[in-house]
Homo-oligomer: A and B are copies of this chain.
Amino acid sequence: MHSFELLSQRFSLHFEQRHFPESPASLYDPNEYFLQLGGKRVRPVCCLMGNELFGDIHNDAWPVATAIELFHNFTLIHDDIMDKAPLRRGMETVHTKFGDNTALLAGDVMLVKAYEYLAGIDPAILPAILKLFNDTAREVCEGQQLDMDFEKAETVHLDEYLDMIRLKTSVLLAASLKMGAILGGSGERNQNLLYAFGQKLGMAFQVQDDYLDAFGDPQKFGKQVGGDILANKKTFLLIHALEMTTPAQKKELEAQLAGNAPDKIAKVLSIYHACGVDAWALELKNKYLDEALNHLEDIAVLSKRKEPLQNLASFLVKRDH
């Protein structure tokens, strides 16, 4: 059993090699370019940790974790095209550097390469892993489509937003952990509890992300605080605020959304404070974190084995009181 940090180092050593053929370079150089931009590799490491919760790391955990990371990168390349994002991790996105068509095809072949890693694993576990991988991939596509739909929608209800976030971000974290559990030889009940842990942890993380974008310490946050507000992004905060404000506050909030006043961020934040959205978000985050940890608690293995995942939860989501 190893910590997230140690498994992250081990995975990086394993992952940082060439994954694609040399030729045609016009197709594969963009893939290699994108992969060397790095990333926290949270999802593949979750697969390794899910495995270690139940037993020694299975040989096939490495190709499965690699497939998960390649799948994640496929979604990023295609999402960047759809969002017309110029930069990722401070560097040019694939479509900016190589053109939309090549980025589209580079994403396609990144997804195929993920399946190539899966195809080589022990045939005894391949069907279960492949089914979970497919279900998850389909759900992530659904989440991205809903996210695009919501951008254009007049109103989005909180339960719709929760479902979109679950599909777009939580299911991949949950599935990564569950694939690890399958590799570790866990029974179905424990697999499902670990999946539920991952889902709730993902939700807590996303609430935190939305919260920090509005209320975070600019020194620590790393991105521009208030970026979501300027972009009128439908976040947990905005959706809940629109649902719970007084009619007068709602009118002012909608006026701010309609314009681009120089003090827009401050004005929106003061409405958020006035209607208590900040406290509500922290409570919601804590609720998800508690639910996640309760699922982990319910898994039938020695408590000691759960410590790395408890630490991971604390690392990803800070508890607020």
Contact = CB atoms under 8 A, between A and B. Distances in A.
A42 interface: no
A135 B120 CA distance: 12
Contacts of A135: 116
Interface stretch (A136-144, A192-200, A263-271): A136-144
Contacts of A127: 119-120, 123, 126
Interface of A: 24, 26-27, 78, 81-82, 101-102, 104-105, 107-109, 111-113, 115-116, 118-120, 123-124, 126-127, 130-131, 133-135, 137-138, 141-142, 144-146, 148-149
Contacts of A82: 101, 104-105
B102 A78 contact: no
B109 A148 contact: no
A94 to B, nearest CB: 13
Interface centre among A108, A111, A149 (most CB of B within 10 A): A108
A134 B115 contact: yes
Given A123-B123, A130-B115, A104 B102 contact: no
A235 B116 CA distance: 32
Interface centre among A102, A109, A112, A126 (most CB of B within 10 A): A112
Contacts of A130: 115, 118-119, 126, 130
Contact of A102 (B81, B101, B126, B148): B148
A67 to B, nearest CB: 11
Nearest to A118: B130
Interface centre among A109, A111, A145 (most CB of B within 10 A): A145
Given A26-B145, A26-B149, A105-B144, 18 more contacts: A26-B146, A27-B141, A81-B104, A105-B145, A107-B108, A108-B141, A112-B134, A112-B137, A112-B141, A115-B115, A115-B137, A116-B134, A116-B138, A119-B130, A119-B134, A123-B123, A126-B126, A126-B127
Contacts of A111: 108, 111-112
Given A27-B145, A134-B112, A138-B113, A105 B78 contact: yes
